[in-house]
Amino acid sequence: SQQGEEDPQALSIQEGENATMNCSYKTSINNLQWYRQNSGRGLVHLILIRSNEREKHSGRLRVTLDTSKKSSSLLITASRAADTASYFCATDANAGKSTFGDGTTLTVKP
Amino acid sequence: GAVVSQHPSWVICKSGTSVKIECRSLDFQATTMFWYRQFPKQSLMLMATSNEGSKATYEQGVEKDKFLINHASLTLSTLTVTSAHPEDSSFYICSARQPDYNEQFFGPGTRLTVL
């Protein structure tokens, strides 16, 4: 089974609202990354958070990591229609392989 | 940041032909690269780990004779889909691990359509 699991599976919000997506994983990790993927396109790296970090910001993105709960969240503030995409978390464990969750499909309505 | 490229970005081929996809790390040497496959509306599934100078390690359920992986140099890994069939149509994404940092960098992906 996948290491990372995102929830919700689908999220629909109005432009300007905040979107929060969660990711849970099973084993210890070195870091966790969030990616965006527009329909039919490749992955776009959003942010990487290391296991010794608790929170990182990048523009309108805020990522938190709770290693005790084995979970991470991605917050997109003041969402835009262009944020419509699928969002994946990928965990990077000691085995060196990244494992992806099933993703959250975000729809931002203008 | 480190850049990983893939070529081609998309390919359409006839059933029964073989297709080669290249994955290159442009500004760093990668001893390990990974190949993923993504079916429509699904997540990425790891297919195999490609190690420079040695045989690839395949995940369970992935046919090594069908998906040939060659990691001939520290900056290039290739995935060849042999005797492709329509069910092989998918998005193939590679990633490369930068040895100095504990981070993977992903290529943009290759969309394969087998007619």
pLDDT digit string (tens) for B43-81? 889 999 988 888 899 999 999 999 999 988 889 999 999
To the nearest whole number, what is the mean pLDDT of chain A? 89
pLDDT (0 to 100) of residue A2 = 46
A43 vs B108: CB contact, 8 Å cut-off? yes
Compute the CA torsion angle A101, A106, B2, B4 (nearest 10 deg): 80
Determine the pLDDT at residue A96: 66
Q: B20-45 b/e with 16+ CB inside 10 Å = b?
A: ebbbbbeebebbbbbbbbbeeeebbb
Query: Are A101 and B108 in contact (CB < 8 Å)?
Result: no
In three-state secondary structure terms, B88 is helix
Quick check: A42 and B109 CB within 8 A?
yes
Q: Please, are residues B80 and B65 in contact by the beta-carbon 8 Å criterion?
A: no
**What's the CA gap between B78 and B19, in Å, rounded?**
10
Would you place residue B16 in the very low, low, confident or very high pLDDT band (cuts 50, 70, 90)? very high
Name the residue among A42, A45, A92 with its Cβ closest to that of B93: A42
CA atoms lying within 13 Å on the CB side of residue A46:
26
